Structures are given as structure tokens and as C-alpha cells.
Amino acid sequence: MYRKIASNTIAQIASKAITAFISIFLIGILTKYLPIEMYGNYNKIYSYLGIFAFLADLGLYTITIREISRKPKDIQRIVWNVLTLRAWLGLLVWILAFMIALGLPGYHDSLTLIAIFIVWWFTLVSLINSSLLALMQSQMKMEFSLISVVSWKLVNIGLICIFLLLVFTDVTQTPQAFIWVFIAGFAGIVLNTYMNYVYAKRIIPIKFLFEKEYIKHIFKISLPYGLALFLSVVYFKIDIILLSLLEVPEKANISIALYGLPMKIIEVLMVLWGFYLNSILPSLSKKFTEKKSVEISHMLWMSLKILISFAMLIFIMWNLFAHDIIWIIATPQYLDPVGHIYNSAWALSITLWVLLFHFISLAFIYMLIASERQWILLWVNSFVAIINVIGNLLLIPHYSFIWAAVVTLLSQIILMSICWYIVLKTIKIPRIYIINIIYTLWISIWVFYIFLVIKKSLEFSSLWNVLLLAPMMFLTYIALELIISRKILKANT
């Protein structure tokens, strides 16, 4: 079982690792070409539409995988109706987003509204693409996603390079270049969706189907998890929206840029291991149906072990080299901004903690989904979202984006703690995993401090820190992890 999960996951991890690198490179191009205020506007638009995109998504990707794994004979009916539901939700939510934008200060200028319109088309195609990916994921045939996703990212960044570096080279052409950045993103997702469509047709015919009663059924079972996802995005992205509303317009976009840069990096990293959990979801759902509690326990704790190991690697690496990476991919304004006492490196150091607790939370969230207790997430995320919004409303006017990052971190810790408590009431903890996770935390601390001393002693430039010391630290950590994890890896092969 784990070999099939591993092969499916490796293909996705490879695609995300490559696209993560491309995404970081893209961030570098945008931060260096666009004025800092315009890069802030870019982040504001994607954050605003991102909230509505999750409302339209309704958690249907994960629910579709679970439903197909439980009713494989109904695969065509499930996928076809989900495609129809996604298209209608995308249209309705876009109308809502556009109408609200017209009434928000900082969102109703012509440049921003044009960008919002383009990003909506991007979102609609992404929703269709997500349905195709759910079909492929349910059959554990995600290898092709490596080709399609990388192709999308290469087209996206290729067009952006052409527009920003070759076509719109004059400062007066920056607004046109800004719009073409969004058009390039749309062209990329269209290519990605078409390639996945061609591949998905090999599994089943792809078409839209409207069965009123079945769509109502899918909508009903997806609604709790979908709203929970929406609320999780609210507490993760609402701070950028509130920054745009609570600060004066001249300062708001700069604050969003300084905060948006590290948050974009964190978003790229967050996606990586969601694929692993989607890979185990079909098997996990079957284990809950068959009430195999011992195997469920091992799957949970093996997942936690993997997630914590990966999270600690990212956490210590980016903490060591946060200043260096931002210096390389952005302009000096992001490290020494005019009119701000905080910078992007400070925000990244805080948001890395968000990433750590997010990875741990994911394992417990997927346990609730597999056991059909996704309605619990609705209440948990509602509580966390309320705390987050109140915290941001109180602190942003006085402390700007740095305390927005702190509030997001506290929200993530609360979410993790509640989900941990709920899941562990019914699932036992095998001792071998607890010991191994303690070893992981121990070697993480040692690796961090050893390379911190090496970095301070050698005093390399930022470029050499990233090119030389970072790979050394990566290989050292991986080697130590493989040594301490031999027993549990062998037991789960």
C-alpha cells in the first residue's frame, strides 16, 4: 500500500518541488520589476480572489476523492456532476466578488478591476482543473501532473519574462505589464487544464452532467468541509485584505508587499505536503469504513512523522537563510523599507512558525475528513477565524503587518491544538513514533545551531550562503533523518 502511495506522492512532490523553484524565481522577477506598491496590489488582488476561490471550491477536491474511493462504480456520475457544480459555483461566487470589490476602497480603480476579472477566469478554469486532478488522484495516477503542472509554470513564467523584460521596458508601460502578468497566469492554467483533460479522458469520458438530487447530495456533504476550508483561508488571507482597508492607501500597498512577499513564499511551501495526504486519503477512508483502528493509528502517526520531519527541515533552513533569500529574490526595499520599522525578513521568520504548525494540523484535519467528521472543522475554523479577525482589527492599525503575522501564527496554534485534542481522544499513539518524533526535534535543534555557528564564522555573502551552506545543511539533515527513521520506514514498507 505504502509503495503505491509513495510512487503517487513522489510524482507530485517532484512537480511541486520544481514548480516551487519556478514560483520563487517568479516572485524574484515581480519584486524586481514592479514598483513595491504595485507588487503589493498584485498580492492584494490574489488574496482577495483567493478567499472567494475557496468558497467556490467548497472542498470538492477532497470530497470527490473520498466519494470515488468509497463508490468506485459511480466514478463517472460523481466526476460529471462535480464538474457541473464547480462551474455554477464559480460563476455565482465571481459575481459576488466583483460586486463587493466595487464598494471597497482600493479595489474599484480600473486597473484593479481588470485584474480581478482576469483572475476570475483563472479561478474558474482552476476549479475545472481541480476536478480532473481529483479523478486522477482517486486512481493514484498523478504521474502525469508532473508534466502538466511544470508546463503550466514554464509557460506562465516565460510569458511574464517576455512581457516584463522585453515588451514593456519603459517605466510608463508598467500598468500594461501589470495586467499582462495576470494574462500570463491565465494562459498557463488553460494549458495545464487541457493537458490534464487529455490524460483524464483515458480513465473516463469527461463531460458535464446535471442530476439535481445528486448535486444536492454532493453539495450537502461538501458544505461543512467547504465552509471550514473557506474560514481557514479567511484567517490566513484576511490580514492582507484588512491591511488594505485599515491603513492609508499610500502605506497599505507597501505594507502588503512587505508582508505579501514572505506569505507568498510560505504559500508555495504549504502546498508541498498536502499532496501526500491526498494520496493516503483513499486508503485512509477505507480503513475507517472497515474500522481498522490499529492501521488507522499507524497511518496517522507515520503521516505526522513525515510532516514534522519535512516541516522542521524547511523551518530551520529558511530561518537560517531568510535574510539571504530575500536579498537575492527581492530589492533592498524589502529589507530596508522607507517608512516602516519592520521588513520582510522579520515577517518571514514569524510566518515560518505558521508553516510548522500548519503541517502538523494537516494530519489531524485529514483524519476528521476520512472519518466523515468534517462538520467539526466548520466549528473549529469558525472559532479560529473570529479570533483572527478580532486580533487583526485590534492590532493592524497600531503595529501594521508584523502583528498580522503574529495573529496568523496564534490562530494556527489554536487550530492545531483543538484538532489534536479531538482526534487523539479516539486514536492511540504508538510509542515508536513518539520517540522518533522527539529524535527529529532533537537533531533539528543541533543542525540549526551547528550551521548557525558555521554561517557566522565563515561570513559568506548571501549568494554563497544559499548556494553552498544551504545544500550542506539539507544533506546533513536528510542523512540524520534516514538514520533515525530506519525502523519505522522498514515497518511501513
Task: Please state the rounded mean pLDDT for residues 383-398.
Answer: 87
Distance from C-alpha of 311 to C-alpha of 303, rounded to nearest angstrom: 12
pLDDT per residue as tens digits for the range 46-75: 888 888 887 788 778 777 877 887 777 888
Task: Please state the rounded mean pLDDT for residues 236-248.
Answer: 82
Stretch among 184-193, 291-300, 358-367 having the lowest mean pLDDT: 291-300
Q: What is the pTM of this model?
A: 0.74
CB count within 10 Å of CB 120 equals 22
Give the pLDDT of residue 446. Answer: 92
pLDDT per residue as tens digits for the range 439-480: 888 999 999 999 989 988 887 888 888 888 888 999 999 998
Q: In the predicted model, what is the mean pLDDT of the chain?
A: 81
pLDDT tier for residue 405 given thresholds of 50, 70 and 90: confident
Is residue 329 over pLDDT 50? yes
| Amino acid making up residue 310 | F
Distance from C-alpha of 371 to C-alpha of 206, rounded to nearest angstrom: 29
pLDDT tier for residue 2 given thresholds of 50, 70 and 90: very low
Distance from C-alpha of 235 to C-alpha of 249, rounded to nearest angstrom: 22
pLDDT per residue as tens digits for the range 4-39: 555 555 666 666 667 777 777 888 888 888 888 888
pLDDT per residue as tens digits for the range 138-165: 766 666 667 777 787 888 888 888 887 7
**Higher pLDDT pick, 286 / 32:** 32
C-alpha cell at 292: 481498522
Task: Please state the rounded mean pLDDT for residues 171-176.
Answer: 73
Distances (CA, A) of 195 to 67, 133, 148, 188, 454: 24, 11, 6, 11, 46
pLDDT per residue as tens digits for the range 94-103: 888 888 888 8
Is residue 335 over pLDDT 70? yes
Give the pLDDT of residue 8. Answer: 55
Burial of 245 per CB tally in 10 Å (0-12, 13-18, 19+): middle
Is residue 1 over pLDDT 50? no
Distance from C-alpha of 460 to C-alpha of 92, rounded to nearest angstrom: 53
Query: Of the segments 149-158, 242-251, 384-393, which one has the largest average pLDDT value?
Result: 384-393
CB count within 10 Å of CB 7 equals 13
Q: How many helices (H) and strands (E) does the chain have?
A: 17, 0
Q: Are 77 and 207 in contact (CB under 8 A)?
A: no
C-alpha cell at 320: 537560517
